[in-house]
């Protein structure tokens, strides 16, 4: 009789900082129904990975999941799989943190279930060749990757029905290939299709292994799956079909397969992830071309034949594709180095508490973007920054000691250019001289809130698909993977496809012609006459015992009719602990008259346009403005931004009246439920009209104070 081993793995994960209502929906539509159903079939063996953020949530809100899982572990129905506790991408965090997170999960599972895992769930199946030595040091014997990883080195067909061994520095680890075909069949096709798949791969000697390991959210949380999997009975039918074929289907856990089967040999995998991820990492135009090419090859029936030669990009490309991702990554890495350098100086309890915050800042979801919102979701980025800043503030207090402030000039983001940090332990200001002399980050440390956490509107490969889905809705009767769904969550999304030609940092200097409008500024369609916004500034730092000044300057030009006319911008930042930060501009014209609008742009991440505790106060009467309002005001001396949920207020006071434009910045991105519009924050432009005579010099100044207030 032909036989085959069948490995069924499930991965449950929600990111740090996700909304409670999302967590609850996942629990009651996917996690509990799935676990209760399979627990009622004790013969069904499977492997289960639950990420640390979910274990933390279950510990607080759903202890019954511990009980259900514990019973299945006790009767050897389920094998618990480890991984980095807070679901980091192991290859791109510091090695000591990767090993620490792996051991943290292993210790947790051993403590709570008397089960120390032998294998791990590899986050997003992101593989780099150095991983085996990291895994080996953490006590890991195996992991699973997509079969595409092996196809990309020429292993195809029946040679994928087993596991392989790889190594780094002579440290071996076993690699199980996950069947992409099964990922798309389960649970989106009839249960009989899985049996047909297994039957077609079974053989007389029974040495083959078919592997499915995928997100548990597809069993009830993804669009249309709850009714299909549970109300329409897909899962029960699937289990009953398996049970009726146990004479030839050998259902095993990963560890059982590892112990009962020999490996298919040695392999060395390239840096890669699952196929869809490799598309998402590409630049927008190339990603779209890659998508079209893939679809064409599928229609021609040549996709599987040519798939080993289709590489796409790899995960680290996200760090160059999205400066916002890179900034979080480099800030996290810097805090990691700082924490571990002070390990011997901190008491053990404090060190472990801060290390936990560091680990929480390494959860992968907000660092990238594909079919899930990821980077585009403000609450997920906010959670990353919150944990970075919780850790950083305590470390800064230790470093500062009795000093009133700290000045650091250092290449933080590894681009061979220095950034500047000014902090008094309550507020941190981060400057990037090489990019417009910008203020790229403002941190309210007492609230652990990054005030400037926004996202630039940029082209995405899928934006060309948006017009095709206008007004469409998902047909709940269709049972498709989220990778196959193309739909929109609202009409007329194409009207919001604006693109920024510069990164939305703060303290950016604009020179525009008179007559520019707030609407053109919102749409990023205004005429920029100057060459200052994204160009390098020189810098000089002056310090004293109680204060510090940063002087940023650029001898640039004003462009008219293809010619540049000299113009100089100097901005002096005066920082003194406990006092408002002063910004003093000196504008010097060249040898011809100029009539211009000069403006200074700030970008604030306000988290939501709908929370009534988040608002703007502006003008003489401090008029209250919603973040979603397109606002144009004249003769403004005071301007305040209030984020009540964070207990933060930014107060601006102008030396002379200015005009103010405040515009919401929204992106069109994609999630598992379709294309959607997401509010990212507000762009604020303080501006005045200036008429310069030849060689004339004028000034422009204001102060900014970051205040603590009660949370609302």
Query: Would residue 382 show up in a list of annotated catalytic residues for this protein?
Result: no
Do 350 and 290 fall into the same domain?
no
Q: For 85-139, how does the pLDDT look when each residue is reduced to its tens digit (9 = 90+)?
A: 999 999 999 999 999 999 999 999 999 999 999 999 999 999 999 999 999 999 9
> Helix or strand or coil: residue 19?
coil
Dist CA 18 CA 521 (whole Å):
32
* β pairing state of 142-146 and 171-178: parallel
518 lies in a domain? Answer: no
Cα 336 to its chain centre, rounded Å, is 18
Same domain flag for 35 and 97:
yes
- 8 pLDDT above the threshold of 80: yes
pLDDT in tens, 137-183: 999 999 999 999 999 999 999 999 999 999 999 999 999 999 999 99
Q: For residue 516, give Cα distances in angstroms to 259, 457, 560, 563.
A: 71, 20, 15, 20
Confidence tier at 482 by pLDDT (50, 70, 90):
very low
Residues 212 and 304 in one domain: no
Of the residues 402, 429, 449, which one is the last residue of a structural domain?
A: 402
Which of 354, 381, 402 is the endpoint of a domain?
402
Q: Kindly state whether residue 36 falls inside one of the protein's structural domains.
A: yes
Task: Indicate if 234 and 278 belong to the same structural domain.
Answer: no
What are the residues whose beta carbons fall under 8 Å from the beta carbon of 292, sequence distance 6 or more?
none
CATH number for position 235:
3.20.110.20
pLDDT computed for residue 483 by the predictor: 44
The separation between CA 622 and the C-alpha centre of its own chain, rounded to angstroms, equals 36
Largest CA distance in the chain: 95
143 part of a folded domain: yes
Mean pLDDT score, 53-60: 98
304 plus 366 within the same structural domain:
no
Question: Around 202, how many Cα atoms within 13 Å sit in the side-chain half-sphere?
Answer: 20
Residues 686 and 565: their CA atoms lie apart, in Å, by 24
**Within-domain flag for 529:** no
Q: How far apart are CA 173 and CA 140, in angstroms?
A: 7
Question: Residue 394's CB: how many other CB atoms inside 10 A?
Answer: 20
Q: Is residue 569 part of a domain?
A: no
125 lies in the same domain as 176 = yes
- For the stretch 497-543, pLDDT in tens is 999 999 999 999 999 999 999 999 999 999 999 999 999 999 999 99
* pLDDT category of residue 486 using cuts at 50, 70 and 90: low
* Residue in 215, 256, 549, 705 annotated catalytic: 215
Taking residue 195's Cβ as centre, other Cβ atoms within 10 Å add up to: 16
Distance of alpha carbon 547 from alpha carbon 468, whole angstroms: 57
Note the pLDDT tens digit of each residue in 18-52: 999 999 999 999 999 999 999 999 999 999 999 99
C-alpha torsion angle, residues 200, 201, 206, 211 (rounded to 10) = -130
pLDDT band at 478 (very low <50, low <70, confident <90, very high): low
Residues 392 and 290 in one domain: no
Asked if 386 and 303 sit in the same domain, the reply is no
The answer to whether residues 244 and 330 belong to one domain is: no
Q: Could you tell me which of 210, 145, 185 has the C-alpha nearest to residue 7?
A: 210
Domain assignment present for residue 37? The answer is yes
Cα 115 from Cα 111, distance rounded (Å): 8
Tell me the C-alpha distance between 422 and 223, whole Å. 47
Distance in angstroms between the alpha carbons of the first and the last residue of the chain = 68
Check residue 671 and give its pLDDT: 81
Nearest to 605 by CA among 392, 375, 320, 379: 379
105 φ/ψ angles, rounded to the nearest 5 degrees: -65, -45
Confidence of residue 474 (pLDDT cuts 50, 70, 90): very low
- Let me know whether 114 and 261 are in one domain: yes
Q: Which one is catalytic: 124, 141, 304, 531?
A: 124
Mean pLDDT of the chain: 94
Domain boundary among 385, 402, 419: 402
Quote the domain boundaries for residue 339.
316-402
pLDDT band at 237 (very low <50, low <70, confident <90, very high): very high
Structure tokens given for 686? 């303080």
Joined tokens for residue 20: 């409670």
Q: What percentage of the chain reaches a pLDDT higher than 90?
A: 88
**Secondary structure (DSSP) of 229-259:** IIIS-HHHHHHHHHHTTTTTEEEE-HHHHHH
Q: Cα angle vertex 115, ends 114, 121, to 5°?
A: 145
Q: Say how many domains are in the chain.
A: 3
3-state secondary structure (DSSP) of residue 182: helix
Instruction: Please check whether residue 413 lies inside any domain of the structure.
Output: no
- Residues 178-229: tens digit of each pLDDT: 999 999 999 999 999 999 999 999 999 889 999 999 999 999 999 889 999 9
Q: Are strands 648-671 and 697-708 parallel, antiparallel or unpaired?
A: antiparallel
pTM: 0.94
Q: Which of 406, 424, 448 is nearest to 705 (CA)?
A: 424
Residue 263 and residue 389 in one domain: no
pLDDT digits (tens, 9 = 90+) for 316-351: 999 999 999 999 999 999 999 999 999 989 999 999
Average pLDDT over residues 240-249: 97
Q: Which H or E run contains 539? A: strand 538-543
Considering the domain boundaries, does residue 612 fall inside one? no
215 is catalytic: yes
H or E element in which residue 176 lies: strand 171-178
Do 83 and 35 lie in one domain? The reply is yes
């Amino acid at each position: 009789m032909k036989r085959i081993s069948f490995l069924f793995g499930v991965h449950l994960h929600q990111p740090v900082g996700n909304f409670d209502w999302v967590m609850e929906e996942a629990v009651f539509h996917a996690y509990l129904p799935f676990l209760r159903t399979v627990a009622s079939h004790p013969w069904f063996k499977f492997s289960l990975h639950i990420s640390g953020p979910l274990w933390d949530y279950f510990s607080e809100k759903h202890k019954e999941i511990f009980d259900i899982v514990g019973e299945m572990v006790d009767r050897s129905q389920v094998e618990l799989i480890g991984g980095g506790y807070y679901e980091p991408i192991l290859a791109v965090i510091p090695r000591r943190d990767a090993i620490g997170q792996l051991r943290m999960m292993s210790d947790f599972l051993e403590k709570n279930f008397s089960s120390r895992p032998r294998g791990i769930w590899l986050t997003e199946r992101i593989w780099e060749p150095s991983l085996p030595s990291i895994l080996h040091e953490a006590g890991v014997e195996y992991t699973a990757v997509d079969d595409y990883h092996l196809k990309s080195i020429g292993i195809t067909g029946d040679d994928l029905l087993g596991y392989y061994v790889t190594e780094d520095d002579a440290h071996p680890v076993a690699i199980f290939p996950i069947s992409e075909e099964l990922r798309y069949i389960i649970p989106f096709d009839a249960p009989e299709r899985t049996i047909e798949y297994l039957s077609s791969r079974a053989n007389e000697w029974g040495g083959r292994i078919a592997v499915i390991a995928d997100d548990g959210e597809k069993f009830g949380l993804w669009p249309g799956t709850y009714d299909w999997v549970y109300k329409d009975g897909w899962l029960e039918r699937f289990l009953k079909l398996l049970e009726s074929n146990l004479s030839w289907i050998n259902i095993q856990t990963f560890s059982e397969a590892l112990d009962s089967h020999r490996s298919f040999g040695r392999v060395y995998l390239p840096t890669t992830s699952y196929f869809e991820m490799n598309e998402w990492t590409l630049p927008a135009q190339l990603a779209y071309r890659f998508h079209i090419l893939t679809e064409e090859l599928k229609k021609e029936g040549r996709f599987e034949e040519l798939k080993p030669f289709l590489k796409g990009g790899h995960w680290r490309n996200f760090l160059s594709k999205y400066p916002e991702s890179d900034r979080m990554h480099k800030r996290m890495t810097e805090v990691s180095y700082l924490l571990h350098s002070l390990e011997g100086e901190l008491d053990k309890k404090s060190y472990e508490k801060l290390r936990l915050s560091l680990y929480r800042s390494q959860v992968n979801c907000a660092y990238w973007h594909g079919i899930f919102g990821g980077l585009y979701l403000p609450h997920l980025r906010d959670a990353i920054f919150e944990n970075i800043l919780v850790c950083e503030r305590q470390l800064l207090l230790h470093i500062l000691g009795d000093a009133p402030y700290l000045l650091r000039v250092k290449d933080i983001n590894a681009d061979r250019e220095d950034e500047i940090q000014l902090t008094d332990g309550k507020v941190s200001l981060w400057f990037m001289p090489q990019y417009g002399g910008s203020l790229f980050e403002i941190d309210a440390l007492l609230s652990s809130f990054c005030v400037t956490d926004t996202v630039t509107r940029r082209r995405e490969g899928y934006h060309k698909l948006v017009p095709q889905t206008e007004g469409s809705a998902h047909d709940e009767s269709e049972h498709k993977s989220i990778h196959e769904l193309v739909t929109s969550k609202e009409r007329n999304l194409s009207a919001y496809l604006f693109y920024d030609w510069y990164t939305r940092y703060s303290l950016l200097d604009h020179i525009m012609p008179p007559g520019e409008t707030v609407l053109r500024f919102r749409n990023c369609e205004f005429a920029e006459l100057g060459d200052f916004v994204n160009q390098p500034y020189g810098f000089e730092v002056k310090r004293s015992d109680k204060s510090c000044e940063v002087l940023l300057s650029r001898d640039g030009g004003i462009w008219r009719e293809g010619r540049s006319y000299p113009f100089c911008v100097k901005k002096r930042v005066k920082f003194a602990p406990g006092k408002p930060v002063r910004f003093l501009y000196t504008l010097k014209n060249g040898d011809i008259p100029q009539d211009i609008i000069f403006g200074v742009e700030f970008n604030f991440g306000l988290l939501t346009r709908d929370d009534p505790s988040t608002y703007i106060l502006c003008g003489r009467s401090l008029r209250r403005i919603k973040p979603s309002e397109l606002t144009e005001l004249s003769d403004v001396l005071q301007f305040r931004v209030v984020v009540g949920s964070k207990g933060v207020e930014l107060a601006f006071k102008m030396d002379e009246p200015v005009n103010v434009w405040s515009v919401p910045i929204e992106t069109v991105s994609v999630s598992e439920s379709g294309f959607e519009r997401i509010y990212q924050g507000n762009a604020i432009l303080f501006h005045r009209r200036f008429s310069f005579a030849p060689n004339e010099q004028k000034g422009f100044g204001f102060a900014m104070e970051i205040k603590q207030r009660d949370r609302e």
